[in-house]
């Protein structure tokens, strides 16, 4: 994990709850500030509710990054990417997570609690947090992601 302390918002639905607990604990143990927006049990809930609250925290600057966990990670990533200031990457292995930061300046990571085990998820999260946006040739592409006249 990143050596510099970060503020990280984390949230999950019921399917992602067990993995969220593991990730939040690891983040705290690494010295990061964790804002856990729930859910706080395995009782059924709707994933968009948790994606939106985490993304609002990132958008408001209350957290540098967000981490979202649902069954596959797909629903959370779709919900998160509805927010204009969010670039959520769904990753199932560390290389994608690292490149999402390096090339796409991703600020939210989505994981599938039913798709990846704890050890792999920790590796994905570590790669994501260790990544640094490269800018350069990627900056023009990122600019095209912001809705404006002529590019959507």
Q: Is 70 a catalytic residue?
A: yes
Question: Are residues 28 and 1 in contact, defined by beta-carbon separation less than 8 angstroms?
Answer: no
Neighbours of 1 (CB within 10 A): 17
Strands 88-90, 33-36: pairing kind? unpaired
Return the structure tokens found at 126: 């570590």
Question: Are residues 93 and 71 in contact, defined by beta-carbon separation less than 8 angstroms?
Answer: no
Residue in 32, 70, 88, 98 annotated catalytic: 70
Residue in 32, 90, 98, 103 annotated catalytic: 103
Q: Is 103 a catalytic residue?
A: yes
Return the structure tokens found at 114: 């039913």
Q: Which active-site residues does the annotation give?
A: 70, 103
């Amino acid at each position: 994990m990143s050596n510099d302390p970060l503020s990280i918002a984390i949230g999950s639905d019921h399917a992602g709850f067990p993995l969220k607990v593991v990730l939040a604990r690891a983040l705290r143990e690494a010295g990061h500030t964790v804002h856990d927006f729930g859910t706080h049990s395995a009782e059924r809930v709707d994933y968009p509710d948790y994606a939106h609250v985490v993304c609002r925290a990132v958008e408001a600057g209350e957290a540098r990054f967000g981490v979202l966990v649902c069954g596959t990670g797909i629903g959370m990533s779709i919900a998160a990417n509805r927010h204009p200031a969010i670039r959520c990457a769904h990753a199932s292995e560390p290389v994608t997570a690292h490149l999402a930061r390096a090339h796409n300046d991703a600020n939210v990571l989505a994981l599938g609690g039913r798709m990846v085990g704890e050890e792999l998820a920790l590796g994905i999260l570590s790669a994501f947090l260790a990544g640094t946006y490269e800018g350069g040739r990627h900056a023009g592409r990122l600019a095209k992601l912001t809705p404006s006249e002529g590019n959507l």
